[in-house]
Structure 1
Amino acid sequence: MVGTRRWRKRQPVTAVGLAASVVAMMLTNPAAMNAAAATAGPALSVDVSAARHAISPDIYGLNGGDPAFSAEIGQTVARWGGNASTRYNFKNHTYNTGSDWYFENIVADDQHSVEGVVKSNLDRGIKPVVTVPLIGWVAKDSPASHPYACGFPATRFPQQDGFDQWDPNCGNGQLNGQQLTGVPTDTSIPQDAAFDGEMVSHLVSQFGTAAQGGVPVYELDNEPVLWSSTHRDVHPDPVSDDELGGKGTAAAAAIKAADPSAAVLGPSGWGYCEWVASGLDGCAPGADAAAHGGLNLSQWYLKNMKDYSDAHGGKRYLDYFDQHYYPQISGGTDPASDALRLRSTRSLWDPTYVDESWIGPSGVNAPPLQFVRTMKSWVAQYNPGTKTAITEYNWGALDDINGALAEADVLGIFGREGLDLAMLWGEPKPTDPGAYAFRMYRDYDGAGSRFGDVSVSATSADQGQLAVYAAQRSSDEALTVMVVNKTGGDLTSSLSVAGFDNAAAAQRFTYSPDNLGAIVRGGDLQVSNGHVDATYPANSITLLVLPAAGCSASLHINGDWGTGHVATVTVTNDRHTPMTGWRVSWTWPGDQQVVNSWNTSLKQNGSRVVATDAGWNGSIGVGGSTSFGIQATGAAASPALTCTPT
């Protein structure tokens, strides 16, 4: 089924791009939103007290990406992988392109070597995921320029259906549409799990262990069931359960021996067929599955890793259960493709959504995928405690607003469903609409402000019209609500918010076809009795930010004698619920120094002062207040006070 991914652009081992980007921010007149012309949309509701769980920052990953854009969105994780990593030889920095490009051996330059990519990522605070080879072969020593060593050389196979125009000795390994049988030693040398251990040991010697800030995660090859296609010059036979399981446990053991603090990730299957079946079985469990307890490939892979752990003292050998996800849709932007793209995100979670591609009734007739939930259910049954990852995905059209809507929807789903790790393959340019989908979550105001990190309950009466996701931000307790309008018309909807005390009006940030080069700051929206009415523009992404109600502090000068003064600070609870603690901070405008304080625990560093409750006076009822006092040197001043509940 590889052909169904015809829009997917494959690359060599992923590396870092060179462009740069800047987020533009603009103020708009709220009157520009013509609510009168909008259609009534579905009701939205958020309950901050329900369905709370942490959102992993690693779901906003990219396989590569522009350095400036990566810094802008605070990218936390990147992957060194793809087809080219399957035969990468760290000893000579050579990889084989496989079927991506005439099965040629390419010598990576320093920047694109595994060491170069790992160093670049670590230097920028990005955690690298590094792929180790399992296929049984790695690239041999090869010329660094044309003519390259290749899997189907014309000197051995003079008649082929196609040859590299820049290296006419390298063919595509087919004659009259039939696959030729290559000679593995033309490009490669044998390797086994010991090689993987050496590779990890080498990276540990260069960068330290995972615990010391080195490579934190190692991936067990890439899309192994496709080896008989992508790397058929060395592995023409279909992959069986036993081959994948045996090579996986051996490599995992070698990795853990070389770096016990590192995590292992696998099996990184390409899509539906590889999720459920070995290469021997094809696209549905068959004889191979029957010989392994009737389990599909993912289920058996998880169980096999768990069995191996149980047989080795309970030590964990699989930390992340990883699969790749490419919706089987075209990359088009015609109306039908756009509509299907936005519907198809439901395949990640919706138990009622029947896939509209060959995966559904028109083809293999698979049940609703609800894929992230299915991954988690398999993990819970066969290898509890394993995290979930999708290290390649792409809904396409990232250069179009429709692709941006899909990406924003997908990122919201990843956070709500509790995925642990995700990385987009085929990164958008910084100026593409798809990049703004990431910015809406990671840099919506151009100053690094982000969507919340604690997911909370958010529902829409029609997720197909207005998709909604909500999270509370730990740093300031603000509530962030992401709304994706998937329709071609403006929709006015009421948002009800429960379990949250807001301090002020809701801030509004929108990305829409009206300005594809900027996230636009709109007029603030009033919050009345836990309700916010808003109009969401057609084909738009809107983020509402509701500041949390907290506390306020005021300073009263009790006495000032020029060289010193005494003051009282009053702390007031502005919430609709009791407070359990508080912190007040300020910066003196001059050389004032606190020499005495009471009813508080106070510290001063330079001109900066931080006063916290004394324990017994931390609890303040609704609308109540407490006070503390200070004696300071220098003339009396009235610095701006910041009060924060703790």
Structure 2
Amino acid sequence: MKAATLRRWSVLVLASASLVSGVLAQEPSSEATTSSTAVTVSVNVLANRHSISQSIYGVNFPPDATYIANSGASFVRWGGNASSRYNWKNFNTSSAADWYFQNRGMGDTALYQDSKTFVQTIANAGAAPVMTIPMLGWVSKDATSYSFSVKTFGAQCGINPYNSDDGNGVKSDCATNLTGVNPTWTSVKFLDSPKTGDPAGSIYLSEWATALSPLFGNFGHFYEMDNEMDIWGGTHRDIHPNPAGYNEMRDVFLQHARALKTFDTKAIRMGPVSCCWWFYFNGANNNDKGNHAGIDFMPWWLNEIYWADLNGTTGRSLDVFDFHAYPDTPDFSGYTAAQMRALELRITRDFWDPTYVSESSTINQPWVTSLQPNRTIPFRMPRIRAIVNSIYPGTQVSVTEWSVAFQNQNINYNGENEFATALADADVFGTFGRERIYAASRWTAADPATPAFQALKIYRNYDGAHHAFGTTSVSATNNGNSSLFSSYGAIGLNNTQVTLMLINKDPSNAATTTLNIAGFTPTSRKVYQLTTAHPTSITLVSSGAWSSSITVPAYSLTLILANGTMTAPSAEWDLNPDATMVPANGTAILSPNITSGTGSVTMTAVTSDAGITVTNTTPTITPTTKGRLTVKAGATSGIYKFTVTGKDNTNITQTKSGWILVGNPSATLAKTGDLQTAPHGTQITLTATLGPGSSGGTAGGATVRFTASAGTLTARNVTTDSTGKATVKLTLPATAGTVTVTAEGPFGLGHPVATFTETAN
């Protein structure tokens, strides 16, 4: 997989100045552009206002603290395949499948050898450090061992060029993986905390977390719960030869995430850290999906974590739902460099565009998922946020690995050094802010010698004085071609500045741009640009009175700082949530709330796409009371937009838009054992039978959650048998009265609910 093969242990590839200048010389020059297209950018500072998380401007493995200070990187992750087997005591790890399953030191510098040094250095530099916690159960015992000795296993398909005894673990037929590695050849046990009988040399999470906790400083104590466990059976197949199953990925997370919280009470735990589109919905083991009622992996896993947390006594085990996002590409065969650049710039639509049909056969085909609507359209960020909001409310969403820097060796195309990558990166940063992503980190940190480094800097430190893009996202639409022009807007400086990012991805045409700003009166502006004429520095190109027109050069980033005035609303409010998923013919409830300010808001109008109906059930929102919107889905699955208008107590009107993903019709739960009457203190049997209907799932292997208003159940979560039956026994309370038992089916199949009413006499 792309996400796996990109991760070599040398985390930074430093291009020479001659290589960079040679690649850039092939790019179109904005100074030579004579043709132009007309684009209108419409900004409304009172539409779709919401905070931009400052943690979206992150990177993996920057070289040093100076990089953070210069780029303004806000979120720095220690992750990747090597982190899964890192030993915090001896600073060693395994390169796993990335390099002949060989143990080695974690990094070339002290910053990436000692995890304590990393956390403290990053925090002192002004960014939030993110540490990855291994969950495989083994960490490297030294810097020299390897798993597939030729002396032990015989001839192999590939041999380490630096060690003739170190094979790649594939038989000489280059088709059959070797098995039979004893993990103790390379590793020692990694356990949560010491106990009697532990193997000699064991390493402990409790000691590590205790050592790390005071080093995070004023930043959140961010922990990734391992890395891409859905592909452990490939990346780490020497010690984990079988594909990671659904239950394993649930159970190891719950065990270690809960333990971690006891060792560091401030821990912010991130999971499942899934690698790629196919695995979002299938996990690593296709057969295992069938064993779990045919439910897509991500919804299944999140559902299981949510119910385990509800059933437990320690609260949340998951704080941030994390995944990796490498847009799936078509086959590069026959592509020219110009075509590669164009693809790199339009494929960012994968992250947000409800009309972008994937160009990859990985996504654009019918069998990845049978449960999701519009399955050939990634709509990746809103789709995953809708899934999360519908299952585990209050869970943030992060993307701790992403990249659109494509490689094509056939035409010597290295995306890291292409100016197109800078434009695409800027597009992604803007998307993450608009689409409410909580945290994100690019794989890897862009080389400061390349334009891509400037794409981060123009958001975070465009003038060298650490002034940055605004912190409140606002609507900034345009009438240009989405593959050729992007626009993002935000409010900053206490509502006295609008920041606009304009990205012209057209290699040939400048954009003659008209700027229409509603709700804000601009009086002056500054304009900063990154162009092919000056590809490694951000230039202040103008400063003066406000003008509503600007020519945006071909292949350029333009940051406009518009200073002026506006009347701020008395309260900020949110749809709560703005994206969710509902089964066909089903209902969802939104609970609009005040997020800041002391005013009240009255929702005055609702519009929506055909296919859903949104009713303004409770229109008034105050700091202490929520509103209510009732969403009724029609019979047709799809992606539907809705917009709500609200006026605050000072007569300022805002609009908020959101998305409803309508899936298949819900499964059903049939009851056996309802309306029983029995002596108090006795036991009765209840059965809920899952009927998959048109949900796209199957009857067997689903989890049904039972709760009772009184009495005692023999189980809370019950797995359905092959006929869909989930059976529990209820011991009636010791006193007479009515007992209500609720059975809930999985969210991935529409969350059917059945209620039993029993009587103790």
TM-score range relative to shorter protein: 0.7 to 0.9
2:160 to 150, 164, 177: 164
Residue pair 1:222, 1:269 contacting (<8 A) in 2 also: yes
Are the structure 2 counterparts of residues 537 and 139 from structure 1 closer, same or farther at C-alpha, using a change threshold of 3 Å? same
The one of 365, 376, 379 aligned to 2:385: 376
The 1:480/1:185 distance shift into structure 2, 3 A limit, reads: same
Match of 2:362 in 1: 359
Q: Quote the residue 2:520 is aligned against.
A: 500
Q: Distance in 2 between matches of 1:96 and 1:209?
A: 25
Mapping for residues 148-547 of structure 1, pairs under 5 Å: 148-175=144-171, 176-177=173-174, 178-181=176-179, 182-194=181-193, 198-208=204-214, 213=218, 216-281=221-286, 287-313=287-313, 315-329=315-329, 334-361=337-364, 366-396=375-405, 397-462=415-480, 463-474=482-493, 477-488=496-507, 489-504=509-524, 506-524=525-543, 527=546, 532-547=548-563
Change (3 A) 1:409 1:237: same
Displacement of 1:301 in angstroms is 1.3
Does structure 2 conserve the Cα–Cα contact (< 8 Å) formed by 1:503 and 1:548?
yes
CA contact (8 A) 1:5 1:328 kept: no
**Cα distance in structure 2, aligned partners of 1:471 and 1:80:** 30
Structure ID, larger Rg: 1
Contact 1:45 1:497 (C-alpha < 8 Å) held by counterparts: yes
Range with bigger deviation, 103-112 or 129-138? 103-112
Q: 1:158 to 1:44 in 2, by over 3 A?
A: same
Aligned to 2:84: 86
Write the letter of the residue equivalent to 1:341: E
Q: TM-score, normalised by structure 1?
A: 0.76
Secondary structure in structure 1 of the residue aligned to 2:523: coil
Which segment is superposed worse, 263-272 or 92-101? Answer: 92-101
Residue 96 of structure 2 is matched in structure 1 by 98
Measured at CA, do residues 108 and 492 of structure 1 come closer, stay the same or move farther in structure 2, by a change above 3 Å? closer
CA contact (8 A) 2:434 2:488 kept: yes
* 8 Å contact kept, 1:115–1:203: no
Contact 1:269 1:324 (8 Å CA) reproduced: yes
Whole-angstrom CA distance in 1 between matches of 2:161 and 2:396:
44
**CA shift for structure 1 position 415:** 0.5
Asked if residue 43 in structure 1 is aligned to residue 43 in structure 2, the reply is no
> Structure 1, residues 146-170: CA drift from partner, whole Å, max 9, x if none?
xx21010122123112222222221
The whole-number CA distance in structure 1 between the counterparts of 2:470 and 2:114 is 36
Q: What letter is aligned with 2:305?
A: M
Structure 2 distance, partners of 1:407, 1:218, is 25
Deviation of residue 342 (structure 1)? 1.2
Match of 1:77 in 2: 75
Matched position secondary structure for 2:284? coil
**Amino acid of the residue matched to residue 446 of structure 1?**
G
User: Partners of 1:350 and 1:364 in 2: how far apart?
Assistant: 21
Amino acid at match of 2:158: G
Q: Deviations over 1:441-465 (max 9, x none)?
A: 1111222221111101110112333
**Aligned equivalents of 2:16 and 2:213: distance in 1?**
27
SS of match in other structure, 2:564:
coil
Larger mean Cα displacement after TM superposition, 171-180 or 190-199: 190-199
Helix, strand or coil at the partner of 2:151: coil
Shift of the 300–360 alpha-carbon distance from structure 1 to 2, 3 Å rule, reads closer
SS of 1:471's partner is strand
Question: Residue 129 of structure 2: SS of its match in structure 1?
Answer: strand
Write the distance in 1 (CA, Å) between the matches of 2:32 and 2:241.
61
Cα gap change, 1:153 to 1:406, in 2 (>3 Å): same
- C-alpha displacement of 1:18: 14
TM-score between the two structures when normalised by the length of structure 2: 0.65
* SS of residue paired to 1:273: helix
- Counterpart in 2 of 1:136? 137
Q: Equivalent residue of 1:156, what SS?
A: helix
1:129 and 1:5, CA in 2 relative to 1: closer, same or farther beyond 3 A? closer
Kept after mapping to 1: 8 A contact 2:346/2:484: no
- Distance in 1, Cα, partners of 2:474 & 2:568: 21
C-alpha contact (below 8 Å) 1:207/1:214 kept by paired residues: no
Equivalent residues of 2:45, 2:520 under 8 A apart: yes
Whichever residue aligns with residue 336 of structure 1, its letter is Q
The amino acid that maps onto 1:518 is S
Counterparts of residues 607-622 of structure 1 (less than 5 Å): none
Quickly say closer, same or farther: Cα 1:469–1:547, change in 2 above 3 A.
same
| C-alpha distance in structure 2 between counterparts of 1:472 and 1:207, whole Å | 35
| SS of aligned partner of 1:90 | coil
Separation in structure 1 between the aligned mates of residue 529 and residue 483 of structure 2, nearest angstrom: 19
Q: Is the 8 A contact 1:492 1:535 kept in 2?
A: yes
Identity %: 31
Contact 1:207 1:213 in 2 (8 A): no
Query: Would the aligned equivalents of 2:61 and 2:76 in 1 still touch at CA under 8 Å?
Result: yes
Question: Unaligned regions of 5+ residues in structure 1, if any?
Answer: 21-31, 282-286, 550-574, 581-646
CA distance in 2, matches of 1:36, 1:371: 34
Report the alpha carbon displacement of residue 216 of structure 1 after superposing the two structures with TM: 0.7
Query: What letter matches 2:40 in structure 1?
Result: A
User: Secondary structure of 1:204's partner?
Assistant: helix
Moved more, 413-422 or 69-78: 69-78
C-alpha contact (below 8 Å) 2:326/2:403 kept by paired residues: yes
Q: Which residue of 1 aligns with 2:666?
A: none
Residue of structure 2 in register with 1:611 after alignment? none
Deviation (angstroms), 1:525: 6.6
**Deviation for aligned residue 1:19:** 12
Shift of 1:200: 4.8
Corresponding position of 2:651: none
Aligned-residue offset at 1:39: 2.3
User: Structure 1 440/213 Cα, relative in aligned 2: closer, same or farther at 3 Å?
Assistant: closer
